[in-house]
Amino acid sequence: MTATSPADVPQTRNPNPAIWALTGAAGGATALIATTITTLAADPLPILEWLLVGAVAAIGAWLAVYDFREHRLPNRLVWPLYAVTGVLVGSCGIVSGDLGRVGVALLAGAALWAIYFVLGLLGAVAFGDVKLAGALGLALGWWGIVPALLGAAAAYVLALPHAVAHAAGRRGRQIPFGPYMVAGTVAVALWQILTTS
């Protein structure tokens, strides 16, 4: 369940510097918003958690459109997603006083990246999916390793009908998996917010 095989898409070894400028700008803007919320809100943590889910949903929707249309996940959206989720998870840790959860989130992001990297080496996913997995694991990791793994599992469950229909049609290209990764992440994050608040 991958966007394309790595051989189908030319890989860029030296990303455009504009991507890093955009990533820095996304992180900086998010930090400014998080600081404002922290300063003005009596209880900023729930707001920051909702903002985290909203950011993943918004950037993820944009990524989903690209993946469905072009069968790729562009760096100019994936890297800013890392910056935004990183700043928001860090902000949640600061306002809650629980920096241990930030460490768990980083571990979850690394774990999902590693799992998807192995899947990528096996040809089961594209390497764009590998990059996206780390950011989504970081976001869900705020709620723990188990929610991050559930988000990954939910992606496969959501993608199953598309994969079955695709296989029945005997089409050559594999399905775009990024949209289902995003949907699974958002679904599990919403569940966490609604059941733990």
Per-residue model confidence as pLDDT tens digits over 122-165 = 988 999 999 999 999 999 999 999 999 999 999 999 999 988 88
Residues 6+ apart with CB under 8 A from 132: 63, 73, 78, 81, 178, 181, 182
- 75 lies in which domain range? 6-196
Please check the confidence at residue 13 and state whether its pLDDT lies above 70: no
149 vs 175, higher pLDDT: 149
144 inside domain: yes
- Quick count: other Cβ atoms within 10 Å of Cβ 164? 10
Domain membership flag for residue 10: yes
Rounded (10°) angle between helices 145-168 and 178-196 = 140
Q: How far apart are CA 146 and CA 130, in angstroms?
A: 19
CA distance 7 to 4: 8
- The answer to whether residue 74 is domain-embedded is yes
Query: Is it the case that residue 7 has pLDDT exceeding 70?
Result: no
The reply to whether 1 falls in a domain is no
Angle (CA) 174 58 134, round 5°: 60
List the single range of 4-8, 169-173, 179-183 with lowest mean pLDDT. 4-8
Query: Do the domain assignments include residue 37?
Result: yes
Task: Check whether 174 has a pLDDT greater than 90.
Answer: no
With contact defined as beta carbons under 8 Å apart, do 147 and 64 qualify? no
Does 169 map to a domain? yes
For 100-121, how does the pLDDT look when each residue is reduced to its tens digit (9 = 90+)? Answer: 999 999 999 999 999 999 999 9
pLDDT of residue 8: 43
pLDDT-above-90 percentage for the chain:
77
Query: E strands along 23-160, which residues?
Result: none
